[in-house]
Amino acid sequence: MLKRSIRVEIDALMNELKMNLENNYKDLAHDALKKLHATLEQHHADGQLKDKDYNKYKKIADEYSAKMADYHH
């Protein structure tokens, strides 16, 4: 079972990412995506994020990465 504090942290990062994309803040969206990937990797490495949950959130983060691949200035 995913700890509530970790789920809240990841959900907050995803909400930050969504808000920045909706407001067309590309630099902030890229920063939020980097933080999301780093947080997922850190919690997975620490054993706080099980493979099932990690794969679920990683897939979502990767989808955002693909959508944002052409976001440049």
CA distances to 25, 32, 33, 39, 57 from 50, rounded to whole Å, are 32, 22, 20, 13, 11
The domains located in the chain, with CATH, are 4-67 (1.20.58)
pLDDT digits (tens, 9 = 90+) for 2-15: 789 999 999 999 99
Predicted structure pTM score: 0.89
Q: How far is CA 64 from the centre of its chain?
A: 8
pLDDT digits (tens, 9 = 90+) for 21-57: 999 888 999 999 999 999 999 999 999 999 999 999 9
* Type of residue at 6: I
Would you say 10 and 40 are in contact if contact means Cβ atoms under 8 Å apart?
A: yes
CA distances to 10, 28, 41, 54, 72 from 5, rounded to whole Å, are 9, 23, 16, 15, 33
